[in-house]
């Protein structure tokens, strides 16, 4: 076991993948000598050379477009998008090319491209640096999407994404990059594309992912002090979604709160709520409730704490659920 931050765990996962497969290469703005804005790739250029850790021009469309070509020539490129809000210049390449080549070629072509996107807010930054755009990509068939919330998952998900023959987007919770946790480098945490029950409970279920998982766990602990038993599920994979694990939990607890940092309107919480209602309607003791950001552009840093869901808002949703 090692104690690593999420950022260091991703670095270690990338390094292991590069050591095991010479076709794995990293691409992105300032990821080489600088190690990226968050120093996630620090030291990898020195270890593996500039031909495998490429500093690219500031052009996300070019980064992803080049990766598509490299993948079809046998490489496994890993692209870093510097900030979540900078993903959109490459939206066309991701959603109309990368996601569709396998189906378009009747299964004859694979594009094993991994795209790493630091996402989410509460870092005191400016516009376009704190977005949570996961729903835009989850709506596009042909993409797999992961969202680690801890160092162990960050380490193994990085490697499982690179090994996958489908294109994978990893949304990395940038405000949690410095969160430490134990990493077992010999024992994977199971299938990356499945959910995990990270706290067992009997009376309500909270589903969260990425940066909101620690908030959900804190809410469950606060509820315990009030005599309530709350289960917490880390969704982990946003496409595909492990509906079976979520449904099984709700059939047990009878209540569901979904918490995510993205705006509630049009967010993935709506899809989860609809599926669970379809599958477990007669088990529900209360409506499925969602906790998310407001339907507005991400605000200035001075007021972002009022925009992003926090412990109080999750607990308020729990109170409303138990009031039914």
Nearest-CA neighbor of 305 among 175, 118, 136? 175
Q: Which residues contact 320 (CB under 8 A, 6 or more apart)?
A: 286, 289
Question: Distances in Å between the alpha carbon of 36 and those of 39, 43, 117, 136, 321?
Answer: 5, 10, 12, 25, 43
Residue 187 burial by CB count (10 A; 0-12/13-18/19+): exposed, middle or buried?
Answer: exposed
| Inter-CA distances, 108 with 26, 72, 162, 197, Å | 25, 11, 19, 37
Contact yes or no for 59/90 (Cβ under 8 A): no
Q: Is 51 a catalytic residue?
A: no
DSSP state, residue 174: G
Q: In whole angstroms, what is the distance from residue 31 CA to residue 46 CA?
A: 11
User: Looking at 102, 129, 139, 295, which residue is catalytic?
Assistant: 129
Q: Is the peptide bond before 240 cis (omega within 30 degrees of 0)?
A: yes
The helix/strand/coil state of 214 is: helix
Region class of 74: left (phi > 0), else alpha (psi between -120 and 50), else beta: left
**Could you list the active site residues?**
129
């Amino acid at each position: 076991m090692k104690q690593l931050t999420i950022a260091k765990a991703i670095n270690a996962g990338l390094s292991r993948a590069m050591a095991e497969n010479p076709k794995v290469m990293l691409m992105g703005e300032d990821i080489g000598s600088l190690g990226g804005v968050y120093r996630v790739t620090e030291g990898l250029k020195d270890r593996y050379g500039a031909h495998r850790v490429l500093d690219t021009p500031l052009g996300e469309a070019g980064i992803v477009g080049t990766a598509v070509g490299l993948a079809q020539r046998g490489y496994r490129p890993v692209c870093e998008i510097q900030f979540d809000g900078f993903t959109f210049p490459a939206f066309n390449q991701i959603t109309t090319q990368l996601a569709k080549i396998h189906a378009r070629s009747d299964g004859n072509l694979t594009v094993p491209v991994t795209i790493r996107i630091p996402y989410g807010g509460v870092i005191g930054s400016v516009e376009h640096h704190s977005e949570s755009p996961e729903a835009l990509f989850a709506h596009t068939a042909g993409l797999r999407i992961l969202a680690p919330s801890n160092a162990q998952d960050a380490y193994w998900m990085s490697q499982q994404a690179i090994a996958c023959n489908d294109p994978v987007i990893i949304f990395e919770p940038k405000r949690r990059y410095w969160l430490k946790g134990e990493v077992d480098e010999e024992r994977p945490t199971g299938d990356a594309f499945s959910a995990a029950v990270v706290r067992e409970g009997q009376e309500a279920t909270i589903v969260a992912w990425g940066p909101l998982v620690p908030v959900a766990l804190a809410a469950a602990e606060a509820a315990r002090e009030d005599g309530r038993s709350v289960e917490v599920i880390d969704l982990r994979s946003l496409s595909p979604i492990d509906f079976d694990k979520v449904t099984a939990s709700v059939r047990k607890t009878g209540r569901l709160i979904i918490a995510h940092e993205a705006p509630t309107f049009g967010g993935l919480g709506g899809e989860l709520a609809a599926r669970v209602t379809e599958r477990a309607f007669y088990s529900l003791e209360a409506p499925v409730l969602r906790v998310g950001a407001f339907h507005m552009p991400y605000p200035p840093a001075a007021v972002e704490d009022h925009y992003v869901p926090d412990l109080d808002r999750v607990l308020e949703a729990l109170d409303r659920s138990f009031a039914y």
